[in-house]
Structures are given as C-alpha cells and as structure tokens.
Amino acid sequence: MDAAAVIETENLTKLYGHQTAVDRLTLTVGEGEIFGFLGPNGAGKTTTLLMLLGLTEPTAGRVRVMGLDPARDPIRVKSRVGYLQENMGFYADLDARQMLRFVAELNGIAGRQAEERIAAALEAVGLAEEGRKKIAAFSRGMRQRLGIAELLIKDARLAFLDEPTLGLDPDATVRIMEMIMGLARERGMTIVLSSHQLNQVQKICDRVGIMIKGRMVAQGPMDQLAREKFGVGPEEFSLEEVYMKYFLEA
Ligand SMILES: Nc1ncnc2c1ncn2[C@@H]1O[C@H](COP(=O)(O)OP(=O)(O)OP(=O)(O)O)[C@@H](O)[C@H]1O
Ligand SMILES: [Mg+2]
C-alpha cells in the first residue's frame, strides 16, 4: 500500500445481517487532505467511519489507517485519530476545562503541559472565556468547538468529523468550517468530513466521495466530477448540482 496515504481501503465491506451497509469500498486519502464524504441518509458513511476507527469490524476487505489495521490495533489508532461524532456526547456535569483535562489525561498529557495545551486549544476555538462553564450549558455550536479543542489537545493526525455542523446556525457553520480548514492547512491534519451542507463542503474540500446505498459511486476532485457530469470546469458548477446528478442516476 501507498506510504503517503493516511487511509487506504480495498473492497471494504460491512453487512448487517443480509443488508449491505458498505459495499466493496476502495478509498485512498492522503496526508493533509480534506476529504468530503457525501451521500444520502443511510448510505453507509457512519458505518465506514466506524470501521476506519476500529469501532466496528469489517465483514470483508482490507483497511489501513496510518499503516495500522484498526480492527487489530484499535488503541493505537484511537490515540492518533480524532472523532467528532454525529451527536457529540460530553460529560455534561464537567466544565470545559475539566473535560479537556480528562482528554489530556487519557492521552498521557499531564501537569503544566496539559494546562498550556488546554489554554491554547480553548483560545484557538474561541472558548477562552467559557472554560469554567458547565458543558450542560453549552450551545450546539460551543459543543462542536469543544470537540475541535479536543482534537487539538490530542494533537490528532487524522480526524473524522461526522456532520460537524448539524443543527448549527449559518454563522456557527461558517466558523466551524473555517476551523476545520485551519486544522488541515495550518497543522497538516488529515480530515474526513461527512456533511449534507454541500455549499460548505464545496468551499473547503480537496476531494469528495459520493456514497449511495453503500457504494462509492464517485470519488475525486470536485472539478473532475463536475466535468464528468456536465463537461464544465470548476467555476461553473455547484457541488449540489453534481451530487444530485450522481444521486438521480444511481
Ligand atoms: N448497528 C446497526 N445494525 C443494523 N443496521 C445498521 C446499523 N448501523 C447502521 N445500519 C444500517 O446500515 C445502513 C448505513 O447506515 P449509516 O448510519 O452508515 O448511514 P449514513 O450514511 O451515516 O446515514 P446518515 O446520513 O443518515 O447519517 C443503513 O441502512 C442503516 O440502517
Ligand atoms: Mg451517519
């Protein structure tokens, strides 16, 4: 397998009973890339992410994440990989600092180093003033930003973001997307982002994959997919139109 690839799968497949949730997925994501993982509800996106994280075992196929097999080495994979879930569950009783201290501890970071990282992470996500506020009192947007702070504390090399802007207002959405772009461009973090907000995806992703009924029907730079479907260049298309064309033809 390619040494520069952070994620590589080959015919990765997941069955739930007789139902095929992910069907022979072959995917490569390179270092520092922002990959947009698109597809309708029930397409198999979350199932794919769970296999990449070692949280559910593939039925068939090969998968490597930073050279490791997540099913065999889940702890090492999880220590390097961040995961922002669809519905971020936090310990609501903790305040933001306590929560991040807990994350630091889990990752073997303690003492002054932990406090410095926590302060820097809170600052970076615009929560410096909210460190002592209970997470129970956080808005959705604040919770998502706290999730990003968690990635910074861990210094994740790869992050899976499953609908990080779900339910956010337009301003909070743009802020989160800008932060995600910063993670990749300034820190070289590799990002796999699942989202239904295609106008935002179009702004920040380098490549996208479109999964429909478990099958990746298209994969590549957006202008390439646009050209395939419409024969036009990158200026003249919206990702939404391209997506709908693949969707209707699948
Ligand atoms: N634990 C499970 N047991 C049985 N079936 C499951 C399980 N998890 C997911 N599925 C099924 O697998 C398919 C893919 O689901 P998945 O959650 O991966 O889709 P998704 O692309 O993330 O959708 P969404 O955009 O709604 O989040 C669906 O048909 C779903 O019902
Ligand atoms: Mg999902």
Residue 19 is part of a domain; what is its CATH number?
Answer: 3.40.50.300
Please give the average per-residue pLDDT across 169-181, as a whole number: 94
Residue 59 domain boundaries: 5-84+158-249
Percent of the chain topping pLDDT 70: 96
- Reported as a single tens digit per residue, the pLDDT across 60-71 is 999 999 999 999
**Mean pLDDT, range 155-165, rounded to an integer:** 94
Ligand 1 atom with the smallest distance to the CA of 44 is 18
Residue 31 is assigned to a structural domain of this protein: yes
Q: What is the mean pLDDT of residues 113-118?
A: 95
Give the residue among 17, 19, 9, 11 at the shortest CA–CA distance from 43.
19
pTM of the model: 0.93
Cα–ligand 2 centroid distance for 166 (angstroms):
11
Number of domains in the chain: 1
Asked if residue 114 is part of any domain, the answer here is: no
- Residue-averaged pLDDT of the chain: 92
Asked if residue 109 is part of any domain, the answer here is no
* Predicted local confidence at residue 233, as pLDDT: 64
Of the two residues 22 and 166, the one the predictor is more confident about is: 22
Q: Which DSSP letter does residue 35 get?
A: E
pLDDT of residue 4: 75
In this predicted model, which residue has the larger pLDDT, 232 or 241?
A: 241
Residue 92 confidence (pLDDT) above 90? no
Q: Ligand 1 pocket check: which of 37, 38, 47 to mutate, most ligand atoms within 8 Å of Cβ?
A: 47
Q: What is the pLDDT of residue 78?
A: 87
Q: Which of 121, 83, 85 is nearest to 100 (CA)?
A: 121
- Best mutation site among 46, 84, 192, 216 for ligand 1 pocket (most ligand atoms within 8 Å of CB): 46
Q: Is residue 107 part of a domain?
A: no
Q: What is the pLDDT of residue 95?
A: 94
Nearest CA to ligand 1 atom 28: 42
Tell whether the model's pLDDT for residue 2 goes beyond 70.
Answer: no
Alpha-carbon Rg of the chain, whole angstroms?
18
142 found inside a domain: no
Spatial contact of 184 and 33, defined as CB atoms under 8 Å apart: yes
Q: Provide the pLDDT for residue 87.
A: 65
- Residue 170: is its pLDDT beyond 80? yes
Query: Region 93-101: what's the mean pLDDT?
Result: 93
| Residues contacting residue 133 through CB under 8 Å, at least 6 positions apart | 95, 96
pLDDT tens digits, one per residue of 180-224: 999 999 999 999 999 999 999 999 999 999 999 999 999 999 999
- Whether 151 maps to a domain, the answer reads no
Q: Give me the mean pLDDT over the 150-167 stretch.
A: 93
Write the CB contacts of 205 (distance below 8 Å, at least 6 apart in sequence): 34, 35, 36, 193, 222
Do 212 and 246 form a contact (C-beta atoms < 8 A)? yes
In-domain check, residue 54: yes
Q: What is the pLDDT of residue 11?
A: 98
User: Looking at ligand 1, which atom is closest to the CA of residue 49?
Assistant: 18
Q: How confident is the model at residue 229 (pLDDT cuts 50, 70, 90)?
A: confident
Question: Can you give the pLDDT at residue 88?
Answer: 63
User: Does 1 score more than 70 pLDDT?
Assistant: no
Residue 215 lies in a domain: yes
Position 75 scores a pLDDT of 87
CA distance 247 to 191: 24
What are the C-alpha distances in Å from 241 to residues 45, 199, 229, 234, 238?
Answer: 20, 10, 9, 12, 5
